[in-house]
Chain A
C-alpha cells in the first residue's frame, strides 16, 4: 500500500498546469480529488513519475448560472454540487446524483471533473452528464474546445481529452418547460459505485406530453451511454405507466453488459430496465 516514488507539483493556475503537463507529458498525471488515482497508485497499478495537483486552483471551483446556462468548474467537489441551493432549484438532477455518490469523505474531496476525466465505467456523474446533454470544456496548449457528452466518453477509462488537455468546465444548457429529473441507482454494497445508475431529465409540455427526454445509464457497459431507444420511445408521448414500461425495455439495447462477481451481464440488463422505469416515473412525477 505504498506508492512508488513520485514528484509532486501543485499548480497555482490552469495555465501553469497546462505548461507543466506539456513539460512532463506521459510521465505526469493530473491529481484532482485523488479518490481514484491515489488508491491505484498505492496498489502500484498506476505509477506516474510526476503528480500535477490541480485541486488547489481556486479558479476551477465554482457553480454559476448565466443566461440559462449552468457552468461548473472541474475542481468543484461532489459536496459543493450536492449542497448547491442554486442547482437544487434549477437542475436538481446534479445534487441528487452527488448525494448518491460514494461516502461523505469521497464527496468532500472528490471532484466532478476528476471523476469525468477518469471515466470509471461505474461512476455516477457520466449518467447525469449524458442525460443533461452537457458540454465539456477542455483547455490545452492550443486553447480551449468544447466536447459534447456523447463524444466525451470513448471507452473504459478513456475520454476524448487529448494528452496535454485539462477538463476545465462543465456546461449545461437548461431546457425550457416543465422539468422533471431523477437519478436511480443500485449501489455496489462494498464500493458504493453504481452497479446500475440511471439519470433522467425530462421536459413535459402543458398537456403532460414529453417534449424532450435525456436518459444516461452508467455501470452497465464499459462506459456510460445514452439510452437512445428509451429517449425515442418517449418522444411526444404521454408519460403513462404503459409508455414508460415499454420505453424502459430499451434501456440496454445494443450494449454489451459487464459481468463480475456482483452481477452477471443478464442481471445488469434486468436492473437497467427496472431502474430506468423507476427513474422515468419519478422524473415524470416531479415535472407536474
Chain B
C-alpha cells in the first residue's frame, strides 16, 4: 500500500529536521510510542501501543534513518511486529522552505501481513492517514517551542 501526503509546519527546515532526528521528540510525537531506545547510529527500537477506537495492540518496532541530507531529506525504514500481524514500511521525507515555514512531503510504501492484513484491510489506509496527521500535529507543537 502506498502512502503519501504533505504537511505544513511553521518552523524552519533546520528546526524540523533536527526534531525529526531527535529520539526524545520522536517518542513524544509518534502516536502511542511507549519506549524509544537508541540501538546504533540512526537506529532505534521502539514499543508502540497503536490502534484506533477499541482496536489496539502493542507492537515492537525497529526504526532506521538512512540517506540523511540535512535539512532536506531522509529515508525512514520501519519494521514492526505485534500480536495481530506485522508491518514493514519505508518512506522518503522531503523538507522544503515555504512561506516562512516548512513543507514536509512524505511518500512511502507500507506492507502489512498477518491478521491485520486479512481483517483490517479496509481500514488500514484511513488509520495510516489518521496516525500521520497526529504525528505531524504533535511535531508542529514540538517545533513551536524555542
Binding site for B on A (CB under 8 A): 29, 36-37, 40, 43-48, 118-119, 121-122, 155-158, 188, 193, 221-222, 256, 258-262
Cβ of A258: which chain B residues have Cβ within 8 Å of it? 122, 125-126
Tell me whether B126 and A45 are in contact (CB under 8 A): no
Tell me whether A45 and B53 are in contact (CB under 8 A): no
Which chain B residues in 32-60 approach chain A with CB under 8 Å? 51-57
A157 to B84, CA, bound (A): 18
The 4 closest A-B pairs by CB, nearest first: A157-B53, A222-B126, A260-B122, A157-B52
A116 to B115, CA, bound (A): 25
Please report whether the interface of chain B is mostly helix, strand, loop or mixed according to DSSP. helix
Cβ of A40: which chain B residues have Cβ within 8 Å of it? 54-55
Tell me whether A43 and B126 are in contact (CB under 8 A): no
Contact with A156, one of B115, B121, B130 (Cβ below 8 angstroms)? B130
Contact with A46, one of B54, B116, B125, B126 (Cβ below 8 angstroms)? B54
Binding site for A on B (CB under 8 A): 51-57, 83-84, 115-116, 119-127, 129-130
Contact with A43, one of B115, B121, B124 (Cβ below 8 angstroms)? B115
Tell me whether A256 and B129 are in contact (CB under 8 A): yes
Tell me whether B54 and A118 are in contact (CB under 8 A): yes
A122 to B83, CA, bound (A): 25
Tell me whether A156 and B52 are in contact (CB under 8 A): yes
Additional 7 contacts, C-beta under 8 A, given A45-B56, A45-B84, A260-B125: A43-B84, A45-B120, A46-B55, A46-B56, A155-B130, A157-B54, A261-B121
Most buried by A among B51, B53, B56, B121: B53
Cβ of B51: which chain A residues have Cβ within 8 Å of it? 45
A156 to B125, CA, bound (A): 11
A119 to B84, CA, bound (A): 21
Cβ of B129: which chain A residues have Cβ within 8 Å of it? 222, 256
Cβ of A121: which chain B residues have Cβ within 8 Å of it? 122-123, 126
Cβ of B130: which chain A residues have Cβ within 8 Å of it? 155-156, 222
Nearest CB of A to B7, in Å: 14
A234 to B129, CA, bound (A): 32
Cβ of A44: which chain B residues have Cβ within 8 Å of it? 57, 83-84, 115
Nearest CB of B to A60, in Å: 20
Q: A43-B119, A45-B120, A261-B121 are in contact. Are A29 and B126 (CB under 8 A)?
A: no
